[in-house]
A and B are shown apart, each in its own frame.
Chain A
Amino acid sequence: MSDSARSAAADPSGPVPTGPRPRRRVSRGNVMLYGTLIVIAVYYLLPLYVMVVTSLKGMPEIRVGNIFAPPVEVTFEPWVKAWGEACTGLNCDGLSRGFWNSVSILVPSVVLSIAVSSISGYALTAWRFRGSETFFTILIFGAFIPYQVMLYPLVILLRELGLYGSLWGLVLVHTIFGMPILTLLFRNYFATVPKELIKAARVDGAEFWTIFLKILAPMSLPIFVVAVILQVTGIWNDFLFGVVFTRPETYPMTVQLNNIVNSVQGVKEYNVNMAATILTGLVPLTVYFVSGKLFVRGIAAGAVKG
């Protein structure tokens, strides 16, 4: 990926960038810009390189090993093992086992937490009432409480609600812990929207929900993308709540990842660890890449504003 970027930057006679606004041709400033980006990209990619290379080696080679050396003998066995053969106790079907469980936890949790938080953020910006900011401050305080400290109170709460052990209990937990930061995210982004816009809509008699759905949400695409990135990552990678609030049949993928990576006794298979980590990261990564396109559309939305 960085190869193509490098050739584009280093080769001024190459095709002229076809951005929306070709105001700058390839210049010295451009070389600096791409040069800087590429140097930084190398720093970010170095650990990934080590992970990929390690995941393609056999264990004997790793034992001998220089971590930077490319594999002498490329093997995809660790990947196959991580996906379909690694055992969680007796269930030897690897990460594949938890994949759909993770998806079925992820989708409702992300949707619900973003819906609830964006509406709260909106209400806090445009429809404040006495005390609403106090509740909000308390909520922000919640962002700083380590999850593990809240584990037992949550168990007791869900038991009393009769939701313990159900999917909705887990979705509720993710919604609760996503709420402080997401609400802050939306509240602060909505605050940058010109007040006149909302006021005008209210003068026109627009309703609470109409203003949100028809005016505010469509012009806030970038921040929804950020929220999705945050939640997809957090919920997909969650291990503690996933394992505490579900049953073995519905364990998420991270339980398997933990089992592969986190064994204390027995032989540690670093190559399988690396492959499993990259595989588990693929879903968030895909979301990042796809949602990135929406960022660009955020500019278009911004243009509408003006």
Chain B
Amino acid sequence: MAFRGQVTLLGLAGATALATSASAESLEVTHWWTSGGEAAAVAHFAEAFRATGNEWVDGAIAGSGSTARPIIVSRLVGGDPMGATQFNHGRQAEELIEAGLFRDLSALAEAEGWRDVVNPPSLIDACTVDDRVYCVPVNIHSAQWLWLSDQAYADAGVAVPTNWSEFVAAAPALRDAGKVPLALGGQPWQAMIVFETLVPTLGGRDLYDAVYETKDADAARSDEMAAIWQAMADVREMSRGTNVQDWNQATNMVVTGAAGGQIMGDWAQGEFATAGMTAGEAYHCLPGLGENAVISTGGDAFYFPVLDDDAKSEAQDALASVLISPEAQVAFNLRKGSLPVRGDVDLEATNACMQKGLEILASGNTIRSTPELINEDTGTQIGDLVTQFMNEDAMTPEDAQERFAVIIEDAE
């Protein structure tokens, strides 16, 4: 149903494209939003851009950044840059900025007062290098959510937990009922999400900042951190028997009641919606695990390669301005299931979980996402460690903590 609507919309957009005059500037936009809902969301950006009299040439590439990144970097290095590209903001783009491959958007940012409207301000900081703004943040995704299956708990005869300690306490009852307490897919990044959720929620913001931002090895060796690794050992025990790889297969176990819960980002919402379940009735969500309602504000941003053509540069400015405009922000994020980057727009979210997210965002209880704080190299090392820990019972929490501390010590 939703799908048909989207096709019609795109059909219209296509027709408009044909009608545009040849004098319009066309910009090739690369991004990795390709699933049904994501593509429908991008259509709103494209439509708004076309309304400025320009042409959006879509260059979608699916997969995570590791698929798209070599392609984007090759195009830039090969001297055949696109007009605009999605790129995770934060540390990843720094080198390309230093190499002078991305345009400085400071003038536009100044004129439109991005710094005043973007909330949380850390998002615009992530786009800033040496006081110059190089990217436009477009949405916020958060990872710190615990999704719970009402049915699983009903079957096991215990109440649906309202926080992490209750969740852990209820685990044996679920096991007795033949269920997996915590579904966790086999791909390494999913174990990472769990870890990055436990640190700020059970350990608190201070611990998170000390470890990830200041890279304090003492904090990484502290008792608070030891508690996190103990909790990871609990997770190891509770997730035993998940036996699936993809995150959405794990989510599906929560949907069908085969598992009690899953720690996953806000995008898991879509799976429950597809299954026709309503938040608060058939499933529950606990941002910050119900312990400490804090969410990280990761997300996506757009960068604009330097092009040797004034008319194209103008079109780039027009696109940047469209991406952050209130109308496009609302339309895009409603479709995408993410939160807008502007504090001054009203997203009429009907979904209970999305509403919770918006409230936390408004309250300012947010943390910066890990890609903004540590580079991907360190992230990969932590990821390898976490996934190894989750799958090797022989590794004690103490061993893991020490190895973690060494990685943090070496981090830049």
Which one, B53-61, B118-126, B192-200, B221-229, is touching chain A? B53-61
| Those of A156-194 within 8 Å (CB) of chain B | 156, 158-159, 164-165
Which one, A42-50, A89-97, A108-116, is touching chain B? A89-97
- The winner among A89, A91, A152 for most chain B CB atoms within 10 A is A89
By a CB distance below 8 angstroms, the chain B residues around A88 are 34, 39, 58, 60, 62
Which one, B70-78, B211-219, B288-296, is touching chain A? B70-78
Report B199 CB to chain A, min CB distance, Å.
Answer: 22
Closest chain A residue, CB of each to CB of B64? A264
Closest chain B residue, CB of each to CB of A91? B58
Contact with A along B239-259 (1 / 0, CB 8 A): 000000010100010011000
By a CB distance below 8 angstroms, the chain A residues around B252 are 63
The answer to whether A262 touches B62 (Cβ under 8 A) is yes
The answer to whether A159 touches B79 (Cβ under 8 A) is yes
Which one, B148-156, B171-179, B269-277, B392-400, is touching chain A? B269-277
Contact check: which of B32, B35, B57 meets A248 at CB < 8 Å?
B57
- The winner among A92, A152, A158 for most chain B CB atoms within 10 A is A92
Given A63-B275, A266-B267, check contact A165 B78 (CB 8 Å).
Answer: yes
Contact with B along A183-219 (1 / 0, CB 8 A): 0000000000000000000000000000000000000
The answer to whether A92 touches B38 (Cβ under 8 A) is no
Residue A244 CB within 8 A of the other chain: yes
| Those of A52-82 within 8 Å (CB) of chain B | 59, 63-64
A73 vs B13: C-alpha distance in the bound complex, in angstroms?
34
Residue A304 CB within 8 A of the other chain: no
Report B329 CB to chain A, min CB distance, Å.
Answer: 18
A244 vs B13: C-alpha distance in the bound complex, in angstroms?
27
Contact check: which of B58, B75, B77, B275 meets A89 at CB < 8 Å?
B58
| Those of A248-267 within 8 Å (CB) of chain B | 248-249, 255, 258-267
By a CB distance below 8 angstroms, the chain B residues around A165 are 78, 80
Given A151-B70, A259-B34, check contact A164 B79 (CB 8 Å).
Answer: yes
Residue A297 CB within 8 A of the other chain: no
Report B183 CB to chain A, min CB distance, Å.
Answer: 14
A262 vs B32: C-alpha distance in the bound complex, in angstroms?
10
The SS class assigned to the A binding surface is helix
The answer to whether A92 touches B255 (Cβ under 8 A) is no
By a CB distance below 8 angstroms, the chain A residues around B270 are 266-267
Please report the total number of A residues contacting B with Cβ < 8 Å. 37
By a CB distance below 8 angstroms, the chain A residues around B256 are 63-64
By a CB distance below 8 angstroms, the chain A residues around B60 are 87-91, 259
| Those of B1-15 within 8 Å (CB) of chain A | 6-7, 10, 13
The answer to whether B274 touches A267 (Cβ under 8 A) is yes
Given A90-B58, A244-B71, A244-B75, check contact A268 B248 (CB 8 Å).
Answer: yes
The answer to whether A87 touches B34 (Cβ under 8 A) is yes
A160 vs B271: C-alpha distance in the bound complex, in angstroms?
48
A265 vs B58: C-alpha distance in the bound complex, in angstroms?
19
By a CB distance below 8 angstroms, the chain B residues around A119 are none
The answer to whether A266 touches B35 (Cβ under 8 A) is yes
A256 vs B183: C-alpha distance in the bound complex, in angstroms?
31
Residue B280 CB within 8 A of the other chain: no
Closest chain B residue, CB of each to CB of A148? B70
By a CB distance below 8 angstroms, the chain B residues around A92 are 6-7, 10, 39
| Those of A2-58 within 8 Å (CB) of chain B | none
- Nearest 3 CB-CB pairs, A to B? A266-B35, A89-B60, A259-B62
Q: Residues of A at under 8 Å CB distance from B?
A: 59, 63-64, 85, 87-92, 148, 151-152, 155-156, 158-159, 164-165, 240, 243-244, 247-249, 255, 258-268
Q: Residues of B at under 8 Å CB distance from A?
A: 6-7, 10, 13, 28, 31-39, 42-43, 46, 56-64, 67, 70-71, 74-75, 77-80, 246, 248, 252, 255-256, 267, 270-271, 274-275
**A-B pairs with beta carbons under 8 Å apart, 25 shown:** A63-B255, A64-B256, A87-B10, A88-B60, A92-B6, A151-B74, A155-B74, A155-B77, A159-B78, A164-B79, A165-B78, A240-B71, A244-B71, A248-B58, A258-B61, A259-B60, A259-B61, A260-B34, A263-B35, A263-B62, A264-B63, A266-B36, A266-B37, A266-B38, A267-B274
